[in-house]
Amino acid sequence: MSLDILFETYDSLLFERFRSLGIDLTEGHAVAYALGYHTSNKPLFGYARRHRLEDPRLQTALDMALARHAGEGNEKGVMLCLWAGANPHARVPSLSYMGFGIDEEDEEDGRSAIQEACSRGHAAILERLGPDLTRDDFEELFYSAANEKVIALLVRSTLPKDPGRMVALQLARANWPFREHRPVEAIRALFEAGVRWQASPTEEIASARRDLLRCSDHVLADVMKLLATDDFCSREVLTELARTPSMRERMKRVGLIPATPHARSTFDRVRPSKARKALDKLGIERPEAKAERAAPILYRTERIGSWRRDGREIRLDRPALFEHVWTVPVETLAREWGLSGRGLAKACRRLQIPVPPRGYWARVAAGQQLTRPRLPNLPPGQAEQVLIYAPQPPSAE
């Protein structure tokens, strides 16, 4: 009779009768599979609970079933296994990899239920299993922690002994597609708990840099800003992390390093927030701002328009021209003087005469009271007179 068929009877007395006949119900990890993949066979859980102390193989089956339920996030299965006496700290082979050439008797290569919950990001189950400093390797738990909730639970007991390696391992997962892994949030939780990345071997930082270069643009920008926040990382670590040309080129692409003025494009992405602070921490000099163009030196008499043999000359000073452009729209004034509106506005800008902004005359027509800007002063001897070449007005016949 197949053990699977026996377990499907859900008959405790039948389980006991087969045991009394000397049949090994744990052969081929049959009990572990039955308890690890199903939660409805409560008679079998009860059978394992009654005999686990006298039969270590039943204890191992319970531990294997618990590890699988913990990894799958099955709270009902976890509670049933704990009720039956499963040990969440015991290293056991994984039911998911049985038959793939793994040594089933080598428990040193196995994982405990606590490790499974930790690596799959099931913080609620991990808290119920109760990690213990005296029984669990917390360094290993930190290395396998999948998200910030698991990190927050582990740091209640202790902090990792090697912060650099811990952060580097999380960075290695930054481009993983698995949903249960949230490395950026996990790193943030570590820093908020007091972990600081002060030093690491050059090879470890280089490996972290390569992992960052494999990330998407938005993840790279978020991680670099996080690492450069406050005193989370030492300046030496940050400088080494951003040292290579490939990293700096990637930082330019994501907007952390601003483009030089001649390289900018209207298609450039918006710079991430706090990018300037991140650059200061990373030891990268920002490109110098474009120097302001010095104001041009003006002649004593400035000319507007082209000289005409049959034209006329209009002589004004800057205050008078300022009064004209703020009394009549520039376009109207330009037509009267035989100029283009754009040309007159450009000449006023050269003479440092403010002109009304777009929409000004519509607001005036609507009855709004608007104030004029002040006319800036010029050095003595500049633009004291403005000469406008205009055509003769048409004669009225």
In a domain, residue 94? The reply is yes
The Cα 90–Cα 70 span in angstroms is 13
In a domain, residue 88? The reply is yes
Q: Judge residue 328's burial from the number of C-beta atoms within 10 Å of its C-beta, 0-12 exposed, 13-18 middle, 19 or more buried.
A: middle
pLDDT at 100: 47
Residue ending a domain, choose from 72, 94, 111 = 111
In a domain, residue 15? The reply is yes
**Distances 217 to 268, 269, 322, 341 between C-alpha atoms, Å:** 14, 11, 51, 46
What average pLDDT score do residues 381-395 get?
A: 86
pTM: 0.66
Q: Which two tokens stand for residue 36?
A: 């690890």
**CB neighbour list of residue 214: distance below 8 Å, 6 or more residues apart:** 174, 175
Q: Based on the structure, what is the number of domains in the chain?
A: 2
Residue in the block written with tokens 């700096």:
248
In a domain, residue 93? The reply is yes
Among 22-26, 143-147, 279-283, the range scoring the smallest mean pLDDT is: 279-283
Query: Domain range for residue 344?
Result: 312-356
Residue ending a domain, choose from 341, 356, 371 = 356
* Number of C-beta neighbours around residue 208 at 10 A: 26
In a domain, residue 56? The reply is yes
The Cα 182–Cα 379 span in angstroms is 63
Residue ending a domain, choose from 111, 126, 155 = 111
Tell me the pLDDT tens digit for each residue of 199-246.
999 999 999 999 999 998 888 988 988 998 888 999 999 999 989 999
In a domain, residue 393? The reply is no
In a domain, residue 287? The reply is no
In a domain, residue 240? The reply is no
Q: How many CA atoms lie within 13 A of 392 on its CB side?
A: 7
